Every structure is written in C-alpha cells, then in structure tokens.
Structure 1
C-alpha cells in the first residue's frame, strides 16, 4: 500500500535534516519506493504494514537516527486524497489554506483553539470529514493568534499542518 508520512517540526527551529538522509532511514526501516516531497518532511513510500504500526516503527527509527523526539503521521493514498478533495475553501492568491494531519479527534481541539483565538479578516476554519482546515491571509500565518497557538508544546505530538498545495504534490508522487 502507498503511504505518506507527514513529519512534524522538520527543518524548523534547529531540527535540520536532509531529505536524502530521512529517506535512507525509511529504507533501513524496511519501507519500499521511498521518496521525499519538498524539504518539509513529506515522505512517500510503500509498505504491507498497517499505518499505526508504521507510525511506531518510523518514529523510533527517526528518533534513534537523528537524536530528537520524532513525531509523524502516516496516511494512505486514499486518506491523503481526502485532504485535497475535502478542502472547503476556494483558492485565492491572497490566502493560504492549511489542512491538519494528526491524531484522532485533534480537529475538535484545533477548532476549540481557533474559536478562542482573535482572528484577522478572512481568517476562517472548518472541519470537513474529520479534517481541520484553516484559511489565513498570506503574511499572517505565524503572526495570527491561532498561528501562535499551533506552536504550543502541549500540542506538538498531536498534529502537523501542510499547505493544501503540498497535498497536491504528495499525491502526484503517490500515483
């Protein structure tokens, strides 16, 4: 089965790694047809194992190799397609659209945090098919109240986010 592992916190805040090295860790852990998409920690691969088993295997392999606490979220090709196809927002050159990949029910935690946050004009959030989507004006991602909440240490093992365009690139590699 084809999968994508979405790694959290790669090539930000001092956690720097070459995607070629990450791919090698995946290969050494028994994954097949391993390739990276962008430098933000999106690894496409195939395996006969279940996603929940792969998460444990790959987090341990990454943690051991890179000496950091790795968090990643594994999704099948079908699940990855849902991130793209369920997007409730219309593309707009002035806005970023993010989808969040994470633990079960994390979308409800994110929505509660979003509802409690101050919002900028055109900043919106929706949950579609158990996926949390966030639309934010370009240039406001890290400055918005919700954007700052996303860096909370208490949430670091719960989710990672990707721009909706990243899902399109990942899916092209999965085909």
Structure 2
C-alpha cells in the first residue's frame, strides 16, 4: 500500500536533516519505493504494514537516527486523495490554504482554538471529513492569532500542517 509520512517540525527551529538521509532511514526500516517531496518532511513510500504499526516503527527509527523526538503522521493514498478532494476553499493568489494532518479529533481542538482567535479579513476555517482546513491571507500565516496558537507545545505531537500545494505534489508522486 502507498503511504505518505508527514513529519512534524522538520527543518525548522534547529531540527535540520537532509531528505536523502530521511529516505535512507525509511529504507533501512523496511519501506519500499521511498521518495521525498520538498524539504518539509513529506515521505512517500510503500509498505504492507498498517499505519499504526508504521508510525511506531518510523518514529523510533527517526528519533534514534537524528537524536530528536520524532512526530509523524501516516496517511494512505486514499486518505490523501480524500483530503485533496475535500478542500473547501477556492484557490486565490492572495491566500494560503493549509490542511492539517494529525491525531483523531485534533480537528475539533483546532476549530475551538480558531474560533477563540482574532481573525484577519478573509481568514476562515472549516472541518470537512474530519480534516481541518485553514485559509489565511499571504503574509499573515505566522503573524495571525491562530498561526501563533499552532506553535503551542501542547499541540506539537497532535498535528502538522501543509499548504494544499504540497498535497498536490504528494499525490502526483503517489500515483
């Protein structure tokens, strides 16, 4: 089965790693057809194991190899396609659209946080098929009230986000 591993916190805040090295850790852990997409920690691969088993195996291997506490989220090709096909916002050159991959139920935590945060003009959030989507004007991602909430330590092991353009690149590699 084809999967994508979405790594949390890669190549930001001092956690730097080459994607070629990450791919090698995946190969050494028994994964097949391993390829990286961008430098933000998106690894497409094949395995006969289920996502829960893969998460345990790959987090342990990544943590040991890179000496950091690895957090990654495994999604099948079908789940990734479902995510892509459910994007609720229209593409717009002035806006970023992000999707959040994470633990079951994190979408509700994110929506609660979003609703408490002050929003800028054209900033929106929706949950579709248990997935949280966020639209924010370009240039406001890190400065927005909600963007600052995303850096909370309490959320770091629960989710990671990607621009929807990244999901498009991932799906192209999966098919």
Same fold by TM (over 0.5)? yes
**Counterpart residue number, 1:130:** 130
In 2, the alpha carbon distance for the partners of 1:100 and 1:82 equals 13
In 1, the alpha carbon distance for the partners of 2:122 and 2:56 equals 38
In 2, the alpha carbon distance for the partners of 1:155 and 1:143 equals 18
**Counterpart residue number, 1:157:** 157
**Counterpart residue number, 2:23:** 23
Query: For 1:135, what is the secondary structure of its paired residue?
Result: strand
What are the residue-to-residue correspondences of 1:88-167 with 2, within 5 Å?
A: 88-167=88-167
In 2, the alpha carbon distance for the partners of 1:144 and 1:48 equals 41
* TM-score, reference length from structure 2: 1.00
Query: For 1:148, what is the secondary structure of its paired residue?
Result: helix
In 1, the alpha carbon distance for the partners of 2:127 and 2:134 equals 9
In 2, the alpha carbon distance for the partners of 1:117 and 1:158 equals 19
In 2, the alpha carbon distance for the partners of 1:30 and 1:161 equals 26
* TM-score, reference length from structure 1: 1.00
In 1, the alpha carbon distance for the partners of 2:73 and 2:21 equals 19
What are the residue-to-residue correspondences of 1:58-73 with 2, within 5 Å?
A: 58-73=58-73
Query: For 2:4, what is the secondary structure of its paired residue?
Result: strand
Post-superposition shift, 1:83?
1.4
| Over 3 Å off, 4+ runs | none
User: What is the aligned length?
Assistant: 175
In 2, the alpha carbon distance for the partners of 1:154 and 1:77 equals 28
**Counterpart residue number, 2:75:** 75
In 2, the alpha carbon distance for the partners of 1:73 and 1:153 equals 17
Post-superposition shift, 1:23?
0.1
Runs of 5+ in structure 2 lacking a partner? none
RMSD: 0.3
In 2, the alpha carbon distance for the partners of 1:165 and 1:104 equals 23
Post-superposition shift, 1:126?
0.1
In 2, the alpha carbon distance for the partners of 1:56 and 1:155 equals 19
